Structure 1
Amino acid sequence: MNNFSTTFFVFFVCISFSVKSQSFDTPESITFDEATDSYYISNIGSGEILKIDKTGKKTSFVSGYTSFLGVKLHDGVIYSAEDNKSGDDFIRGFDVSTGKLVFSLSIPNTKQLNDIEFDNKENLYVSDREGHIIYKVSISDASYETLDDTINTPNGLYFDNKKNRLLVCNTIDKSVVYAIDIESKKTTLVVKTNYPHLDGITMDKDGLLYLTSWSIDWKNSILLKYEGKEFTEIATNSNGMADIEYNQKTNAIDIAQLFDNSILHFNLLNKKK
């Protein structure tokens, strides 16, 4: 799709809004709480997780940490990957109602814990992008193991419940999407791409994949849809589209935008029956 077509498409289809404030400091990841219609956004720059309630009011949910990247709501707890920079990284979990720390796990020798995902058996998965490892964490006893150490710079994670597999995209010049079978730990190729630096990955209710890709120079980003073995560029900007999550309640792709210090809600078209 050429630049004009992409711009035209976004103008009419991306019924979205950005929420800007000085309290955003390089937002990297976003997750949604359907029970309260609230968003939780991680800040790389300030070591903070922000909450935006259904009225649009923004408050500090958690602060005082080093640098948060991936963030995910699961069973009443907001989990996030803390990139400690000066030492081992942590997985932190905070009660969604109180903000109290209820889970903390340090994984030694990590370089940059990044995205977080859950399966349907209370297992957490986290990518160490710079360490080239994906860890599987048992929430019940705070134990962990290596799920995969063969993928170069694993970044975005998505659990495909129907096929019991973890989808992984990586961050190289020509990025790749992989699938890891949860039971066998076998890693297979889903698709090779010509897009650099894939970051976020998610799936909508129809089973279509959406990914974000950064340009080689990291100045621009693209929101991609993967359907029928083909990629379509459905949004392009210089705002730094990073991690993404499909919001089933609003039928939108929620995106944290690093450079613009904002979040973007990209509404998807309803398919005609």
Structure 2
Amino acid sequence: MNTSYLVCALAGTLVATAFGQPHQLVKKWETEALLKTPESVLFDAGARVLYVANIDGKEPWTKDGAGSIGKVGLDGKIIAAEWVKGLEAPKGMGLSKGKLYVADIDRMAVIDVAKGAIAEFIAIPGAQQLNDVTVDKTGVVYVSDMKGLKIYAIRNGKPEVFLEGFKRPNGVLAQGDDFYVLDSGALLKFSKGKQRTTVVEGMDPSTDGIEHVQGNEFIVSCWAGAVYYVKGGEKQQLLDTRTQKINSADIGYDPKGKVVYVPTFFVNTVAAYELK
């Protein structure tokens, strides 16, 4: 039995009372260490591939032109470590109508997926550290600014401030009429009228990625090396690789196959886990 499975199983037993049968993450595969500081993974259900945001370069927030988007198969084989080049330090991604929207420090890169090329850049005036991306059911693109403490909305190519007043906003998720934000260890929910409620708090403060499972259930990753299952106001730790110094940045998720894809940042891989 591998170490990851043991950690997940032990963590799950601690919250068995709150969750009934605890969830687990069972490792399926891990890519070769050929990716370049992978920060984010996005599952493309239509193309059946994973897009990986490679920061590369020396620093996560440096404009050095070293960033790229990689492409990985669902079997863990790297199709192209640098499928699309010409980025600075890419992070979160969102997919809509054949376009891949990528947060790139202070701008949004728009990639034509069919062509595998950058179609345009959308400047976001005042943005400092753009991080996670989500797209709502109407096609509006949202991106968090971790340092600027704002969430921007991009409608018809034009950005505007959507939400503000955070500690360290990162992961964002548009789900139905609700909008979710990970903010320094807490999961916040904003209703259609922007009414704010705290769903759960007390997670590692480096909260990074969020994916919807079903109903009021979510998977949350933390950059430092922790992954949680959130159900209502309860949380269960599924993975903890902090002592091994293995990061778990902005995760991707295949809802049909129930597979969580974890980018390991400095380890230069993506690991796949089946959610049990």
TM-score (norm 2): 0.82
Trace 1:6-25 onto structure 2 (pairs within 5 A). 6=7, 8=9, 13-22=25-34, 24-25=35-36
Query: Matched residues in 1 for 2:251 and 2:74: separation?
Result: 19
Whether the 8 Å contact between 2:33 and 2:267 is mirrored in structure 1 is no
For residue 86 of structure 1, what is the aligned residue in structure 2? none
2:251 counterpart SS class: strand
Picking from 254, 265, 269, the partner of 1:247 is 254
Q: Are 1:58 and 2:79 matched, yes or no?
A: yes
Whether the 8 Å contact between 1:36 and 1:54 is mirrored in structure 2 is no
Whether the 8 Å contact between 2:216 and 2:232 is mirrored in structure 1 is no
Query: Matched residues in 1 for 2:120 and 2:216: separation?
Result: 32
Query: Matched residues in 2 for 1:31 and 1:79: separation?
Result: 11
2:204 counterpart SS class: coil
For residue 94 of structure 2, what is the aligned residue in structure 1? 72
CA change 1:136–1:262 in 2 (3 A) is same
Whether the 8 Å contact between 2:204 and 2:226 is mirrored in structure 1 is no
Moved beyond 6 Å, runs of 4+: none
Query: Matched residues in 1 for 2:203 and 2:118: separation?
Result: 41
2:167 counterpart SS class: coil
1:148 counterpart SS class: strand
Whether the 8 Å contact between 1:32 and 1:73 is mirrored in structure 2 is no
Deviation per CA, 1:74-109, whole angstroms, max 9, x where unpaired? Answer: 2211110011xxxxx111111111113234210112
1:259 counterpart SS class: helix
Give structure 2 stretches of 5+ with no counterpart.
12-23, 57-65
Q: CA deviation at 1:143?
A: 1.2
Whether the 8 Å contact between 1:49 and 1:62 is mirrored in structure 2 is yes
Query: Matched residues in 2 for 1:50 and 1:39: separation?
Result: 8
TM-score (norm 1): 0.83
Query: Matched residues in 1 for 2:226 and 2:8: separation?
Result: 12
1:17 counterpart SS class: strand
Whether the 8 Å contact between 1:36 and 1:53 is mirrored in structure 2 is no
For residue 167 of structure 1, what is the aligned residue in structure 2? 180
Picking from 158, 161, 165, the partner of 1:143 is 158
Query: Matched residues in 1 for 2:50 and 2:116: separation?
Result: 14
Picking from 234, 238, 242, the partner of 2:238 is 234
Q: Are 1:191 and 2:200 matched, yes or no?
A: yes
CA change 1:194–1:200 in 2 (3 A) is closer
Trace 1:214-233 onto structure 2 (pairs within 5 A). 214=223, 218=224, 221-233=225-237
Picking from 182, 187, 192, the partner of 1:177 is 187
Across the two proteins, how many residue pairs are aligned to each other?
247
For residue 138 of structure 2, what is the aligned residue in structure 1? 121
- Give the partner amino acid of 1:120: K
